[in-house]
Amino acid sequence: MRNFEKPTRSVAVSAKAMAATSHPYATLTAINILQAGGNAMDAAIAACAVQCVVEPGSTGIGGDCFALYAPKGGAEVIAYNGSGRTPKALTIEWFEERGLTEVPRQSPSAVTIPGAIDAWTRLHSDHGRLSFAEVLAPAIRYAEEGYAISPRVHRDWKKEEELLAADKAAAEIFLPGGRAPRIGETHRQPKLAATLRRIAAEGRDGFYKGSVAEDMVAHLNAHGGLHTLEDFATAEGEYVTPVTTDFRGYAVHECPPNGQGIIALLILNILSCFDSTLEPHSADRLHLEIEATRLAYAARDAWIADPDKANVPIDELLSADFAQGLAKKIDLTRAMTELPDFEMPLHRDTVYISIVDEDRNAVSFINSIFDSFGTGLVAPGSGVILHNRGQSFSLKRGHPNMIAPEKRPLHTIIPGMVTRDGRTEMSFGVMGGYYQAMGHAHLISKVVDYDMDMQDAIDLPRLIPVGGKVPRVEAEHTVSAETVAELTSRGFEIVPAEDPIGGAQVVRIDWENGTLMGASESRKDGMALGY
Active site residue 350: yes
Instruction: Identify whether the C-beta of residue 522 lies closer than 8 Å to the C-beta of residue 7.
Output: no
Q: Which helix (H) or strand (E) holds 346?
A: none
Question: What residue type is assigned to position 528 of the chain?
Answer: A
215: part of which helix (H) or strand (E)? Answer: helix 210-222
| Three-state DSSP class for residue 192 | helix
**Parallel, antiparallel or unpaired: strands 377-378 and 362-370:** unpaired
Q: Which of 459, 443, 435, 436 is nearest to 66 (CA)?
A: 436
The answer to whether the beta carbons of residues 528 and 375 sit under 8 Å apart is no
User: CB within 8 A of 333, min separation 6: which ones?
Assistant: 490
88, 56 contact by CB (below 8 A): no
Look at residues 371, 396, 388, 368 and name the one whose alpha carbon lies nearest to residue 302: 396
Q: Which of 11, 221, 31, 190 is nearest to 111 (CA)?
A: 221
Catalytic-role residue among 350, 419, 424, 483: 350
CA 485 to CA 473: how far, in whole Å?
13
Residue 433 three-state SS: coil
- C-alpha–C-alpha distance, residues 84 and 430, integer Å: 21
3-state secondary structure of 227: coil
| Cα–Cα distance for residue pair 363/507, rounded to 1 Å | 10
- Bridge partners (DSSP) listed for residue 259: 411
d(CA 181, CA 184): 8
Our CA angle for 425, 430, 434, nearest 5°, is 135
Q: What is the DSSP string of 86-144?
A: --TT--HHHHHHTT-SS--SSSGGG-PPP-HHHHHHHHHHHH--S-HHHHHHHHHHHHH
Give the integer Cα–Cα distance in Å for 357 and 352: 17
Pairing outcome for strands 493-496 and 472-475: parallel
Distance in angstroms (rounded) separating the CA atoms of residues 156 and 181: 11
Query: 406-431: b or e for each residue (b if 16 or more CB lie within 10 Å)?
Result: bbbbbbbbbbbbbbbeeebbbbbbbb
Cα radius of gyration rounded to whole Å, the chain: 22
Active site residues: 350
